[in-house]
A and B are shown apart, each in its own frame.
Chain A
Amino acid sequence: MDTIKSQQVTFKVFRFNEETDYLPYYNTYTLDVTHEEVVLDILNRIKWDHDGSLSYRRSCRHGICGVCSIKANGKGILACKTRLFDLVETFGNEIILEPLSTKRAIKDLIIDKKDFWDKHAQVKPYLVSEIEEHPALEHLVSPHDAEKLLEADYCIQCGACHYSCPALAINEEFIGPAAFAAAYRFSADVRDDASIERLHVVNEEAQGVWDCVKCMECAEVCPKEVNPIEKITKLHNMVFEAGIAKNNVATRHAVGFAHSIQKHGLLDEGELVRYSEGNFGVMKHIPEAIAMFKNGKIVMPWNMPKSKNLDEIKKLIKSSSTVKF
């Protein structure tokens, strides 16, 4: 048997009671931690041995129910799945335990996840299908069709990505990575009939996929390797494939790259902004364009650099394009 290794770790734990506290505060505990312990073990030890009033959510203890998600030193984790020694290796031996969203704290590490569930509800996270009342056969899904769901089915709604998404932290309308992954999961299901309806929801400005900042935080934080941004990209693709992409700044911004590459190989930055914004919308960029021009940051159309062997690129765009706008 392996010998048990241990080390001293200081925990700063977020404390707040919505009913009695005006401001949150932190309690500090220094504990000997063994290499076998996960964060949930520490929360239990603090509650059982030091302060029975500490509140947090826990249930399955097997990384499948998704309720024990919190943040450690700003990183979203499942308390039951994250080894202390791994956290110490990353962050050193002062570990700060906080709720997923300090703004939404109700009691200590427990938050009100209403916003999270509301976003889920927005994308109808269930199969929509007309079925006979007494079907004679089950609806078989071939392995090939099942693979289309990718890892979207692994999501346990822990909220780690939702509360790590910087776009969502600023823009409350944004549907966010978890609900987008759910939208993809059901829209990619061959048994589902509401795909177009969902795509319309994720295609809306402000709330939809176009407002993703592409920071990759969701892919990084997900404890179940759902890779939400990959599903967000898929939703973008599905919007174009379904022919429901609106003609707006966001869609033109994506399509504009193909136009520019076709013409120059490289991106014509100025033309991309003009094409995306339109001749009127582009006016608001004039002050920064002047500042850039003064400092030699704007290439004039007649000086636009081109890739060598541009004919290859043109040929490939012609033969490899799979979508029309």
Chain B
Amino acid sequence: MEKLKYALYTGCTARESTPELLKSTMAIADKLGIELVLLDEASCCGASHLQDYDDFLSLVLNARNICYAEKLGLTMVTICNTCQLNTAMTKHRLDTNPELKAKVNAKLAEVGLEYKGTSEVTHFLYALIQDYGLEKLAARVQVPLSQFNIAPFYGCHNIRPSELQNLSNGGENPYTPTSLDDLIIACGGVNVDYEEKNKCCGFHAELQSPRTAAILTGNAIAGAMDANADWMVTPCPLCHLKLDVQNHGASKALGRDVHLPVLHMPQMVGLALGCTPTELGLNHHVTKVDFV
């Protein structure tokens, strides 16, 4: 097989509040022989809020990010569900609306760029599953996670709306998603089923609607705890921030203590591949990863 190579759009959190996500992504790419070219030129995607204020500006900035992947002739991979949603939504709107694309390109021309629509945009989770392959990944596992019950937490912006997401996520059904469960199994772990695994963590309403956000976070952790999970795993750093950092507020809102260690998707894969805790940045978690 030809060496897999992608343009990596890190998003903001991986460079700030979840440094462990970038570390572990690079660590497993290295182990698996996947080349990731960092898109250092990229800006913030607007995190689903900028478009509430200025939709056109959000389109222009996201299109600019994709331009840099196009320049490299590579598929763009994301490591944040919300980056994935905003980038994929921009791409879809521009690819299906020539008039809008021309308007955006008129602005991009001012900085010598052009959005063509030649690069695909996919989350690293789906690149691993579809391009690298779960069987091949399973064959590389050195430390099977067989003693752990692991609760997958999918995160909304990788699975909904399916009409858009199915262009890159292999047809995942948002009501019965399987990708993360399959990945847990490939890593030798035991996947835990619970009602909240495909539900919202509340992140995007955190500041303006703290009670709603806290209850949603609490429900997710409580669901995983009640299903006897040892820890949770998520492909989204925003979900991670809610579940890992905000569980005190969630416990208060729910009236019961909820906390579980939460790993980023590449941290889980890294553990199975035999990476060290330091390589995976496990020391950065607020809810301590006490099982390694």
Give every chain A residue within 8 A of B55 (Cβ-Cβ).
233, 237, 322
With a cutoff of 8 Å between Cβ atoms, the chain B residues found around residue A210 in the complex are 208-209
Set of chain A residues within 8 Å of B246, measured between Cβ atoms: 288
Residues of B within 8 A of A205 (CB): 208
Q: Give complex CA distance A254, B53 in Å.
A: 6
A215 CA / B59 CA spacing, docked (Å)? 20
Against A, the Cβ 8 Å flags (1 = close, 0 = not) of B262-284 are 00000000000000000000011
CB pair B16–A305 under 8 Å, yes or no, is yes
* A75 cross-chain contacts in B, Cβ below 8 A: 175
- Residues of chain A lying within 8 A (CB to CB) of residue B12: 266-267, 269
A251-277: contact bitstring with B at CB < 8 Å (1 yes, 0 no)?
Answer: 101110110110001110100010011
The answer to whether B209 touches A206 (Cβ under 8 A) is: yes
A282 closest partner in B (C-beta): B207
Asked if B147 is an interface residue, CB under 8 A from chain A, the answer is no
When distances are taken between beta carbons in the complex, the residues of chain A under 8 Å from B174 are 220
Chain B nearest CB: distance from A159 CB in Å?
Answer: 18
Which of B125-133, B134-142, B211-219, B224-232 interfaces with chain A?
A: B211-219
B47 close to A (CB within 8 Å): yes
Q: How far is the CB of A142 from chain B (nearest CB, A)?
A: 17
Interface of A is mostly: helix
Q: Kindly state the separation between the CA atoms of A325 and B47 in the bound complex, as whole angstroms.
A: 19
Instruction: Give Cα distance in the complex from A75 to B198, angstroms.
Output: 12
Task: Look across to chain B and name the residue whose beta carbon is closest to the beta carbon of A75.
Answer: B175
**B256: Cβ under 8 A from any A Cβ:** no
User: Does the CB pair B61–A316 fall under 8 Å?
Assistant: yes
**How many of chain A's residues touch chain B, expressed as a range?**
35 or more
Contact with A along B37-68 (1 / 0, CB 8 A): 00011111011111111111100110010000
Contacts of A296 in B (CB 8 A): 19, 283-284
Whether, in the assembled complex, A31 has its beta carbon less than 8 Å from a beta carbon of chain B, the answer is no
CB-contacts of A76-109 with B (<8 A):
90-91
- B111 close to A316 (CB less than 8 A): yes
A-B contact pairs, 6 of them (CB 8 A): A167-B205, A220-B174, A236-B53, A257-B46, A298-B17, A305-B15
Residue in B closest to A248 when the chains form the complex, CB atoms: B208
B5 close to A (CB within 8 Å): no
The reply to whether B161 and A211 contact each other, CB–CB distance below 8 Å, is: no
B116 adjacent to chain A (CB < 8 Å): no
Chain B residues whose C-beta falls within 8 Å of the C-beta of A299 in the assembled complex:
15-17
CB-defined contacts of B212 to chain A, threshold 8 Å: 166-167, 170-171, 211, 213
- Knowing A257-B50, A298-B17 are in contact, say whether A276-B207 is a contact too (CB < 8 A): yes
Interface centre among A73, A170, A287, A296 (most CB of B within 10 A): A170
Given A267-B12, A269-B12, A319-B110, verify A307-B207 contact (CB < 8 Å): no
Tell me whether A295 and B283 are in contact in the complex, defined as CB-CB below 8 angstroms, given that A307-B43, A316-B111 are known contacts: yes
* A118, B10: Cα distance in complex, Å: 44
* Inter-subunit contact A217/B200 (CB<8 Å): yes
Q: A236-B52, A316-B60 are in contact. Are A91 and B16 (CB under 8 A)?
A: no
Give the interface size class of chain B. Answer: 35 or more
By beta carbon, the residue of chain A nearest B104 is: A320
> Closest approach, in angstroms, between the C-beta of A280 and any C-beta of chain B?
14
Query: Which listed residue, B15, B50, B207, B249, touches A273 by the CB 8 Å rule?
Result: B207
* Complex Cα gap A285–B103 (Å): 41
* B205 partner, pick from A90, A211, A292, beta carbons under 8 A: A211
Given known A-B contacts A295-B283, A321-B54, A253 and B208 have beta carbons under 8 A apart: yes
Tell me the chain B residues, 68-92 only, with Cβ under 8 Å from chain A: 85
List, in ascending order, chain B residues with CB within 8 A of A273's CB: 207
Task: Indicate if A193 sits at the interface (CB-CB under 8 A).
Answer: no
Task: Find A90's partner among B44, B173, B209, B245 (CB 8 Å cutoff).
Answer: B173
Which of A254, A297, A316 is in CB contact (< 8 Å) with B17?
A297
For chain A residues 225-266, which have a beta carbon within 8 Å of chain B?
227, 233, 236-237, 240, 248-251, 253-255, 257-258, 260-261, 265-266
Chain B positions within 8 Å of A217 at CB level? 156, 160, 200
Please, how many angstroms separate the alpha-carbon atoms of A205 and B211 in the complex? 13
**Least Cβ–Cβ distance between A321 and chain B, in angstroms:** 5
Bound complex: CA of A309 vs CA of B203, how far in Å?
30
- Give, as a whole number of angstroms, the nearest-CB distance from B259 to chain A: 12
State whether B41 touches A307 (Cβ < 8 A).
Answer: yes
Residue from A91, A170, A309, A321 in contact with B176 in the complex, judged by beta carbons closer than 8 Å = A91
